[in-house]
Amino acid sequence: MSADTSHLDLFDRFEEWRAALADADTLAWRDRLPSTIVEPAAAAEHPPLVCALDTVRQLARIDHSIMAWLGLPFALRDRGLSAAPLPCLAGGAKAFRMKPRPNDDDWLAVLRGLEKAAETGLGRLHSLERTYRDAHRAIVAEYRPGALPVLLALSQHRPLLSPQSVADLLDMSIAGASKLLNRAASAGLLIEITARRSWRLFLTPDLAVEFGYARPKQGRPPKEPPPLPPNRDLAEVFDAFDSEMERIDRLLGERPVESTTP
């Protein structure tokens, strides 16, 4: 960042981090750690979770950028606490960077924060799986689903959508993208969070509630409908939807991340 820059770009390391998350080399993050980061003599006396956090603590004392906190998912993975680096578990604590020897309260605060992040991530995973099942039911209910399966597959990867972004990604007109988003909203799979005709945004229901754009439903959560009965026609529909998700995944992987527009 240049000396005359008047603002901090919170996402200037995002592409680097995203590439690291997708890197198949499980030793890459560990190999890039500074040589001054060592395993304490008493490491064997502590659980793997504490050892992973201590690695991040040591890194934060050396690297004062956000990358130290973004390294926690890799430290947890390297200690066998997760099968892959989970981005929802990124984080740390100011005490790790500022104090040579954090006290018990500092460690407890970090552990509680990590627990909360894990619970939040698990809740979002459940919501994502519920949205996936709801998408199946919505596609089956449509007489002519058209491009709806493609849009719903896209929403699994990008929960915040606009007519412009849908038009660009799915190669259709803005008017067609608006109609498609309206269909998804009518099916309850997206919620419009703006009221402007020239600048509309749609968000998946779970995130709309979490960010305060929609009110949570009162009372006991509604019971999810039973699974659709298996048959050959439905299997073909679901296979086609999964194929669309794979195609969207490849499409988004080929494009740079756009942090300014949905």
For 60-79, give one letter per residue: b (16+ CB within 10 A) or e: bbebeebebbbbbbbbbbbb
Residues in the chain: 262
Domains of the chain, each with CATH number or no CATH? 14-102 (no CATH), 126-253 (1.10.10)
Of the listed ranges 38-52, 67-81, 89-103, the one predicted with least confidence: 38-52
The mean of the pLDDT values for the chain is 86
Of the listed ranges 148-157, 159-168, 225-234, the one predicted with least confidence: 225-234
Question: In the sheet where 160-161 sits, what is the strand order?
Answer: 160-161, 202-203, 191-192
Model pLDDT, residue 230: 67
161: number of Cβ within 10 Å: 23
Model pLDDT, residue 260: 44
Phi-psi region of 103 (alpha: psi -120 to 50; beta: other; left: phi over 0): beta
pLDDT at 109 over 80: yes
Rounded Cα distance between 250 and 205, Å, is 25
Tokens representing residue 100 in the block = 């040579």
Rounded Cα distance between 195 and 129, Å, is 28
Beta bridge partners of 161: 202
For 161, the 3-state DSSP assignment is: strand
DSSP letter for 2, please.
-
Rounded Cα distance between 57 and 46, Å, is 15
Instruction: Tell me phi and psi for residue 250, to 5 degrees.
Output: -65, -40
pLDDT at 192 over 50: yes
Within 8 A by CB and 6+ apart from 206, the residues are: 124, 127, 130, 131
Number of H helices, E strands in the chain: 12, 3
Rounded Cα distance between 42 and 195, Å, is 59
Rounded Cα distance between 164 and 44, Å, is 54
